[in-house]
Amino acid sequence: MPLTYEDIISDLTKRIFRPVYFLAGDEPYYIDLITDFIGDKVLSEQEKAFNQLILYGEDTTIESIIDTARRFPMMASHQVVIVKEAQSVKKIENLIFYLEKPLLSTILVLNYKYKTIDKRTKFYKALETHGIYFESKRLYDNQVPPWIERYLMTRGIRIEPFASAMLTEFLGTDLHKIANELDKLLITLPAGKQVITTELIEKNIGISREYNNFELQKAVGEKNILRANRIINYFSENQKDNPVTLTIASLFSLFVRILTYHYIADKSRNNVAAMLKINPFFVKDYETAAARYNISETVRVIELLRTFDMKSKGWGDTGADSGDLLKELIYKILHI
């Protein structure tokens, strides 16, 4: 079973080291955390002067990396060699010549972002045998709210479900960005308060808790014409902060889930939450939306969203601006 971030940090904390750490994948957050932990914690400040070296993929070669890794430490138990942007190193697979017999006093860290390696190769098998291959995968949208909750829980803080959904909608799946914003919120959290609310987010991050895609989803799901129109009018006046393509994508996600809900046999709260991959708190919103849109209407809305997505990207060249396209789309959805 592949090692998790927690497994690796636990071993490093116990000073259980492997000679090679190959950190790959399209989510850089955990890659950077592991790299920084090794760079900060393995050697003392005095030892780092002679025994810690940072290389950059664009400026180095496999031969240079291997030569450096084969050096012995000076007045320390280990040397640390960190290769940042290792995805830029040419012929990375030639590292196998070092992997087959690595120097145990060297900790070689390869920061291989936004790419992975073929797990069928001898190179990968050598990594598994003599080092650690860690793959950091980008989260899906539905995985972000639970991640936010866990991040805050380790700090003794809770977050309202609506607040978590707002952050996900606004920040996407970039964990570096999310962690930075959460840390800012923790600093501004009033003394004695242990819950992050939508009000706190609106005040400190600039997300409107009344006018955002999450609230538009709710209004459209309820067929609340007045509320939906207020939101899209706000979007039309603030198009830079509310791109129509993201709004359409958000609505598409909503109606795909509504369609899925219709076909779920066991509509108990926990089963629906599991099937739709949502917080159980929001199940009632899908119950309401499914009552407003039957299967046929839901399918027609999804077709509408596909058409307007293409229009928003220039297909058909209607001449309408983004605000007008969105108004037309919402009108058609609400009156389908």
Q: Is the pLDDT of residue 216 over 70?
A: yes
What's the pLDDT at 162?
A: 87
**In sequence order, what are the beta bridge partners of 81?**
53, 108
Closest CA to 136 of 154, 99, 155, 110: 110
DSSP sequence for 202-252 = HHHH---SSSSHHHHHHHHHHT-HHHHHHHHHHHHHTTTTS-HHHHHHHHH
Under 8 Å between Cβ of 43 and 78? yes
Average pLDDT, the chain: 93
What's the pLDDT at 316?
A: 66
pLDDT digits (tens, 9 = 90+) for 144-173: 999 999 999 999 999 998 899 888 888 889
Under 8 Å between Cβ of 166 and 198? yes
What's the pLDDT at 319?
A: 62
pLDDT digits (tens, 9 = 90+) for 116-144: 999 999 999 999 999 999 999 999 888 99
pLDDT band at 317 (very low <50, low <70, confident <90, very high): low
pLDDT digits (tens, 9 = 90+) for 7-52: 999 999 999 999 999 999 999 999 999 999 999 999 999 999 999 9
DSSP sequence for 45-87 = HHHHHHHEEEEEGGG--HHHHHHHHTSPPSSSS-EEEEEETGG
- The 10 Å CB-count burial string (b at 16+, else e) for 170-186 is bbeebbeebbebbeebe
> Once rounded to an integer, what is the mean pLDDT over residues 303-319?
83
Instruction: Kindly list the distances between the CA atom of residue 193 and the CA atoms of 34, 157, 166, in Å, as whole numbers in the listed order.
Output: 31, 8, 20
pLDDT digits (tens, 9 = 90+) for 284-299: 999 999 999 999 999 9
Q: Which domains does the chain have, with CATH numbers?
A: 5-135 (3.40.50.300), 141-205 (1.10.8.60), 213-334 (1.20.272.10)
Share of the chain above pLDDT 70, in %: 99
Sequence-distant (≥ 6) Cβ neighbours of residue 242 within 8 angstroms? 211, 213, 234, 235
**In sequence order, what are the beta bridge partners of 29?**
none
pLDDT band at 2 (very low <50, low <70, confident <90, very high): confident
Instruction: Kindly list the distances between the CA atom of residue 195 and the CA atoms of 106, 279, 280, 316, 317, in Å, as whole numbers in the listed order.
Output: 44, 17, 19, 48, 47
Sequence-distant (≥ 6) Cβ neighbours of residue 37 within 8 angstroms? 9, 12
Under 8 Å between Cβ of 325 and 312? yes
**315 DSSP assignment:** T
Q: Is the pLDDT of residue 240 over 90?
A: no
Q: Is the pTM of this model over 0.85?
A: no
Whole-angstrom distance, CA of residue 258 vs CA of residue 300: 12
- The more confident residue out of 111 and 171 is 111
- What 3-state class would DSSP assign to 194? coil
Task: Using DSSP bridges, classify how beta strands 20-25 and 195-196 pair: parallel, antiparallel or unpaired.
Answer: unpaired
Under 8 Å between Cβ of 253 and 259? no
The two three-digit tokens of residue 180, written as one number: 């930075």
* Distance of alpha carbon 81 from the chain centroid: 28
Q: Is the pLDDT of residue 108 over 80?
A: yes
Lowest mean pLDDT, pick from 84-88, 137-141, 257-261: 137-141
Whole-angstrom distance, CA of residue 169 vs CA of residue 147: 14
